[in-house]
Amino acid sequence: MNTRDYLEGLSFDGYKFFGAHKKDKGYIFRLLAKEASEVYIIGDFNNWQRQAMRKYPTGVFSISIEDAKEGQKYQYIIKDSDKEFTKIDPYSKMIDYKEKSSVLVDDDYKFKSKRKKATNKNILQVHLATLFKDKDKTSHEIFDSIIEHCHANNYTSVLLMPVNEYQNYKSMGYSAMNLFSYSERYASGLDFKKFVDKAHKNNIELFLEVDIGGFDPDENGLLRFDGSNMYNYDYEDIIYNYYGSINYDLSKNFTKSYIQSAIAYWVNEYKLDGILLPSVENSLYWQGDKTRGINKNNIAFIENLISYLKAKDLLILASFNGIYDLDLSFDMVFDNRSKTLINMLKDQAIKRDYYKNFINDIIVNDRKDRILGFSYVDSYQNEANLAMKMHTDDKKFEQEKVLFTFLFSLKSPKLLFMGDDCGDLRTYSIYNKFAFDSYENNLKDINKYFRDISKVFMKEKALNSKDSSTQYLDIGGFSLYAYKRIYKDEQLLVIINFTDIDYEIRSDYSLEEIINTESLEYKGSANVNGLVNIGENINIKGFSAAIFRIK
């Protein structure tokens, strides 16, 4: 690492220098604290007695301790002109959040498999915390269950919610204590590396959410780190964001190099395939509020981050609460039209035709760089999972099959939160154990349909190719939609019925039915079509959908 580059906000490799690094004997510790007059280290290796660290003109403090061993805990005591305070190492790879201490780790691992890149993305979003509440399984069994579930359900990719250490359980990891730690709640960083390697071996790509929007307000963390506002803003009115975390001040060079190094650390040391920046509006606009104007420093920082990842042929994604109307060259951004789609399905069938223009817009303006689907927010907010949000109690199964058909008939990347592909009817809770192979209450047999419709999506170029096109067909009816999906000489006809009215539609084509929600194998009425000749009727039951090949 070049120290001058770090101090000037240009570094992406600070993790190679700062923090605790294993030597032939013991560890060497390095810390940047420019405003500190003195820094001491205390830990298991010196019986928690102060040892002074050497200060360099750059503001770097350093010490080598031969007795330091893996698993031992330590803290820094930082002194400025008139006070002292205890701090966690900003670069520590493991944190004991209860004792506010950093932990020494040795997580060296030689990866055997290369990164994978899926052309057509079907993404499973995973929150590790509830999976690791299953104390009957080892960490390897839990990680393996993710891979097995991906294979069984045609997922190409896993999006992991933040894995950094955090204190507030309700934050779900979005208010990290630092950006380099791997949470002890989820086994170890070494176990995680093995999981990444095995996922790549099984042709599954991995994306990680890294929250650069804010950090934990704990006084033992990054806040006022060296006695100055080293990582946070100097002004009280913008220190906290609307989630209650401390805003990173990306106008400061130390902060730039710190976050850039963290992103580089995860993609280089863990061989991840990309990074997702969650709630990116908090970085793009002052306090996440568009009316307060664009934060130019943050936008310049994010653009530089995007350039770094793209130069490494890695992906950068973003979630955005609101209407994303900027062009920062993210590879993919969450399509928030999904939220209005949910609102429609929560509404009575008789009112759904009011959403016609909205549904038409999704069909016609389908994009390969917009992720269409349902994130953890849709399974966490309003205390109702995706299946629970379907209107009525006796038709949830039928409506979710229609929703999945609509979703997978479009070329956009897909996203579902864990449990929603099985119609989980238990409100997702961070306090409850979750396992892919065990549901107390769910829509029986919905997963069979999900597997088959997602397989159709992965197979058919007319559905998944970036070069595919859509031709909307006006066939009348209430909440009834028909459109052709086209790729070169291949054409598919999609019919979606979001209402409870049965329809008969005269066919202008010779058709071969590929999939129908009413098939007996999906516990439907058996009112399917099979082969349809020109001029014959297509039967579409209420709350049903079908995809045909045009012959």
| pLDDT (tens digit per residue) in 291-333 | 899 999 999 999 999 999 999 999 999 998 876 777 899 999 9
Q: What is the 8-class DSSP label of residue 420?
A: G
Q: What domains can you pick out in the chain, each with its CATH number?
A: 3-104 (2.60.40.10), 122-463 (3.20.20.80), 469-550 (2.60.40.1180)
Beta strands 27-32; 19-22: pairing state: antiparallel
| pLDDT (tens digit per residue) in 143-164 | 999 999 999 999 999 999 999 9
| pLDDT (tens digit per residue) in 66-78 | 999 999 999 999 9
- Going by pLDDT thresholds of 50, 70 and 90, the confidence category of residue 499 is very high
- Going by pLDDT thresholds of 50, 70 and 90, the confidence category of residue 117 is confident
- Degrees (nearest 5) of the Cα angle 255, 258, 262? 140
CA nearest 90: which of 226, 227, 269?
Answer: 226
- Going by pLDDT thresholds of 50, 70 and 90, the confidence category of residue 103 is very high
Q: What is the 8-class DSSP label of residue 79?
A: E
The mean pLDDT of 485-496, rounded to a whole number, is: 98
For residue 181, pLDDT beyond 70: yes
CA nearest 163: which of 147, 186, 137?
Answer: 186
The mean pLDDT of 6-11, rounded to a whole number, is: 97
| Between 512 and 322, residue with greater pLDDT | 512
Distance CA(202)–CA(463), nearest Å, equals 24
| Between 379 and 511, residue with greater pLDDT | 511
Phi first, then psi, for residue 415 (nearest 5°) are: -145, 130
For residue 440, pLDDT beyond 80: no
Counting residues of the chain whose pLDDT is more than 70, the rounded percentage is 100
What's the pLDDT at 444? 84
| Between 427 and 190, residue with greater pLDDT | 190
b/e sequence 312-340, b meaning 16+ C-beta within 10 Å: eebbbbbbbbeebebebebbbbbbbbbee
For residue 490, give both structure tokens: 């291949």
Q: Which residues pair with 511 in a beta bridge?
A: 532, 550
CA nearest 359: which of 486, 512, 470?
Answer: 470
Quickly count: other Cβ atoms within 10 Å of residue 45's Cβ: 19
Distance CA(203)–CA(338), nearest Å, equals 28
Return mean pLDDT, the chain.
Answer: 95
Quickly count: other Cβ atoms within 10 Å of residue 99's Cβ: 12
Beta strands per DSSP E along 369-464:
370-374, 414-417
CA nearest 475: which of 497, 492, 460?
Answer: 497
- 83: amino acid identity, one letter: K
CA nearest 22: which of 100, 77, 93?
Answer: 93
For residue 488, pLDDT beyond 80: yes
- Going by pLDDT thresholds of 50, 70 and 90, the confidence category of residue 120 is very high
Token pair 């896993």 in the structure block, residue: 158
H/E element, 80: none
- Cβ burial of 525 (10 Å; 0-12, 13-18, 19+) is middle
What's the pLDDT at 323? 66
| pLDDT (tens digit per residue) in 359-403 | 999 999 999 999 999 999 887 777 889 999 999 889 999 999 999
Distance CA(431)–CA(448), nearest Å, equals 28
Distance CA(320)–CA(334), nearest Å, equals 7
- 429: amino acid identity, one letter: S
**CA distances, 352 to each of 86, 419, 472, 477, 481 (Å):** 58, 26, 19, 12, 12
| Contact between 243 and 267 (Cβ < 8 Å) | no
What is residue 282's three-state secondary structure?
A: helix
The mean pLDDT of 244-260, rounded to a whole number, is: 97
Phi first, then psi, for residue 21 (nearest 5°) are: -125, 135
What's the pLDDT at 94? 98
